[in-house]
Structure 1
Amino acid sequence: MVYLTRVEHFNAAHKLYNPNWSQEQNEQVFGKCANQNWHGHNYELYVTVKGRPNRDTGFVCDVKELSRIINQYVIEHIDHKNLNVDVPFMKDQLCSTENLAIAIWKQLQPQLPAGVQLHGIKLYETPRIFVEYFGE
């Protein structure tokens, strides 16, 4: 099995806020991330797929095609957007990096070419904070 990773970048705003809690409790749990005026990140998205190299091309997956899929089904929907307000696949979810990674997986997994499996999503919120998701 060979693993191939494509890296993409996007910028987005969000806030961490549980609508069932008071503003005080939100600020206690989420700190500055509960700011009423939002805050933003420069995200780095690592999408890793796996498979057997094609006999004719030597590729697990054409990286240009993988980039097109990531951009069409994820980046175009979240880049320079407010994750809490503008992104349908984040609707009614707390916009944590963990939940965003799961939502990205759900967007990409059905779009991959035959014979290519999604192995993992690694999403950097900052250079020091990232999450990894490997499916259910």
Structure 2
Amino acid sequence: MVYLTRLEHFNAAHKLYNPKWSKEKNEEMFGPCANENWHGHNFDLFVTIKGEPDADTGFLMDVKKLKVIIKEHVIAKVDHKNLNLDVAFLADKMCSTENLAIGIWNQLTPHLPANVQLHCIKLYETPRIYVEYYGD
């Protein structure tokens, strides 16, 4: 089994806010991340796929094609966007980094070739905080 990882980067704004709660409870739970005027992150996205290299090319997957899939199905939808308002795959969900990683997984999986599996989404929200998601 070979693992191949592609790194992408995007910027996005969001706020953590549960509309079922009072402003005070949101501020208590989420602190400044519940700011009514939003806040932003410079996200680093690591997409790791796995499988067996092709006998003819030696590639697990053409990395240029992987780049296109990630850019078309994720980066174009989240880069310089408000995750709470602009991203359809996060509609009606808390815009946590955890839910974003799961959403990215779901965006990519249907578009990968049959011989390749998505292994991991690693999403850095800050240099010290990241989420890893390995599927269901």
Q: Which residue of 1 aligns with 2:7?
A: 7
Q: Which residue of 2 aligns with 1:49?
A: 49
Q: Which residue of 2 aligns with 1:133?
A: 133
- For residues 22 and 62 of structure 1, the distance between their equivalents in structure 2, rounded to whole angstroms, comes to 49
- For residues 40 and 18 of structure 2, the distance between their equivalents in structure 1, rounded to whole angstroms, comes to 18
1:91 to 2:76 alignment: no
SS for the counterpart of 1:125 is: strand
SS for the counterpart of 2:58 is: coil
TM-score w.r.t. length of structure 2? 0.99
Q: RMSD of aligned C-alpha atoms? A: 0.4
How far did residue 114 of structure 1 move?
1.7
1:101 to 2:81 alignment: no
- For residues 114 and 54 of structure 1, the distance between their equivalents in structure 2, rounded to whole angstroms, comes to 12
TM-score w.r.t. length of structure 1? 0.99
- For residues 67 and 22 of structure 1, the distance between their equivalents in structure 2, rounded to whole angstroms, comes to 42
- For residues 60 and 46 of structure 1, the distance between their equivalents in structure 2, rounded to whole angstroms, comes to 16
How far did residue 19 of structure 1 move?
0.5
Gaps of 5+ in 1: none
SS for the counterpart of 2:85 is: coil
- For residues 105 and 89 of structure 1, the distance between their equivalents in structure 2, rounded to whole angstroms, comes to 11
User: Identity, % of aligned pairs?
Assistant: 70
Deviations 1:4-51 (A, max 9, x none): 000000000000000000000000000000000000000000000000
For 1:67, the aligned partner's letter is K
Listed as ranges, the matches of 1:51-130 within 5 Å are 51-130=51-130
Matched residues, number: 136
